[in-house]
Structure 1
Amino acid sequence: METTIATGTPRKAGADRTNPEDRLGLLDAALEYIEDRHWDVVLGTSVIREDGFCFCSCGDRGCAMIGSHPAMRDWQKRISGQPSKAHEWWAANPQGSIILPTGRAFDVLECSEEAGLLALARLERSGANPGPVAATPTRRLYFFILPNSRTKVAKALAELGWGRTALDLNCRSAGDYIVAPPSRMGTRGQVQWVRGPADSARWLPDPEEVLAPLAYACGLHRDRVAGFPR
């Protein structure tokens, strides 16, 4: 399979990294999302290392989403597209993850990495525009699509014959969020771009443009995991 996962995230030329604690370039990335993509952001939690163990900065020692959720309980009221707010947040929390709220500038179709890479290869071979795609260290892929697509996704899956089939394919829309590159997720690593939101992937696809190969790949993955012959 030709598709590979790229490391890091595109950086703005001449970006000023003034905080040595921001080793991942999170402020630069947050500013790029705001200024270049016109995407809103919100500050996420960070990974705290103590005595060889990792904990979430939220203070819950049993947190199952270490460094992978909003830092504020009322995060939906704190969402911002202001560069000054990004400077404020990441100056005080240089290792805080970048949270991108869904249902505003984009929605996200989430699936397993295996199914997602298969679908992505099919889309690229057909000459389609898959849009931006990100991968998490938990082996999940995020396909960025036009916002407010949840109802359209459900309808399209039904028309494709997958309406009553349990697929590992979720639409993240209004009220939800994703962790954005190059944020760290727990002890497993960073979120990375497979296809970054550069010029070639700037225009978000309609869900119907990517759903057929995604659903098919998710069905294959489900059958493989269950041990069903194809």
Structure 2
Amino acid sequence: MEKTIAGAQDTQTAGHIPKQRGESLLETAVRYAEERHWDVFPGTWLEAVDGRQRCSCGDASCPAPGAHPARPDWATQASGSATVVHRMWQQQPAAAILLPTGRTFDALSVPESAGFLALARMERMELTLGPVTLTPDRRMQFFVLPGATAKVPELVRKLGWAPASLDLVSLGEGAYVVAPPTRFGSRGAVQWACRPTPANRWLPDAEELVSPLAYACGRDR
């Protein structure tokens, strides 16, 4: 698994790779706004309750503790201004870093096992990838150009699959991805399978990635 992540990154390490190790959530959120021009908004956070880490939302059975929107109007809260982002995390330094989709990027979400299979296939095809996240709940999100949500179902059908038969989810307007190094409760932190670098600033179109992703999801069923 580590070899696969490293291989995916080796093809895209030209230029400066944004730091994360040792950085605060505030510094990382500001970096996303400054260097990638991504809109960012703060989510929930983890709190110690009776010696255990609980989500700030107060739900003891929260499915994504410390890693989901903290308010219903989160879409209007998101900002690409480094000054605004800095101010938001100053108010709550432990807040999750969340990135709205449907703006500067969409994301194609697949199970982790299918994602690694697809990454290996994409490397053989010499496809240019955008950033890819790996979450503790065993999902991978491949960043693509906005508009993927409208395209993906028909693209999947053309490949001979029924969209509902594959665990291939397109995240567009009204959705979000959880960004590294946000933590999912006690399950660990979100990681980059492919880091954002100057080499992958220009994102692929969904059409370029759907075939290997659909193939991997079909194998993974």
Matches within 5 A, 1:16-165: 25-163=24-162
Q: Residue type matched to 1:3 in 2?
A: T
How far 1:165 moved relative to its partner?
5.2
Instruction: Provide runs of 4+ in structure 1 moved above 6 Å.
Output: none
In 1: Cα distance, 2:5 partner to 2:196 partner: 16
Alignment deviations for residues 161-220 of structure 1 (CA, whole Å, 9 cap, x no partner):
113551111000000111101111111011010111102222110111111111001011
What is the total number of aligned residue pairs between the two structures? 210
Q: Residue type matched to 1:10 in 2?
A: P
The residue number in structure 2 matching 1:18 is none
CA RMSD of aligned residues (A): 1.8
How far 1:24 moved relative to its partner?
5.4
> Relative to 1, partners in 2 of residues 1:132 and 1:164: Cα closer, same or farther, differing over 3 Å?
closer
Which structure features the higher share of helix residues?
A: 2
> Normalized against structure 1, the TM-score is what?
0.86
Unaligned regions of 5+ residues in structure 1, if any?
13-22, 223-230
Describe the SS at the equivalent of 2:169. strand
**Contact between 1:41 and 1:100, CA under 8 Å: does it hold in 2?**
yes
Question: Identical aligned pairs, as a percentage?
Answer: 48
How far 1:157 moved relative to its partner?
0.6
In 1: Cα distance, 2:203 partner to 2:96 partner: 23
**Contact between 1:46 and 1:57, CA under 8 Å: does it hold in 2?**
yes
Q: Residue type matched to 2:198 in 1?
A: D
In 2: Cα distance, 1:109 partner to 1:142 partner: 5
In 1: Cα distance, 2:192 partner to 2:102 partner: 20
The residue number in structure 2 matching 1:226 is none
Describe the SS at the equivalent of 1:147. coil
**Contact between 1:45 and 1:70, CA under 8 Å: does it hold in 2?**
yes
Describe the SS at the equivalent of 2:4. coil
Q: Residue type matched to 1:48 in 2?
A: E
**Contact between 2:5 and 2:194, CA under 8 Å: does it hold in 1?**
no
How far 1:64 moved relative to its partner?
2.2
> Relative to 1, partners in 2 of residues 1:82 and 1:52: Cα closer, same or farther, differing over 3 Å?
same
Alignment deviations for residues 28-83 of structure 1 (CA, whole Å, 9 cap, x no partner):
11111111111101111111122232211122333222111112221112111111
In 1: Cα distance, 2:182 partner to 2:164 partner: 33
> Relative to 1, partners in 2 of residues 1:173 and 1:202: Cα closer, same or farther, differing over 3 Å?
same
Q: Residue type matched to 1:215 in 2?
A: A
> Normalized against structure 2, the TM-score is what?
0.89
The residue number in structure 2 matching 1:4 is 5
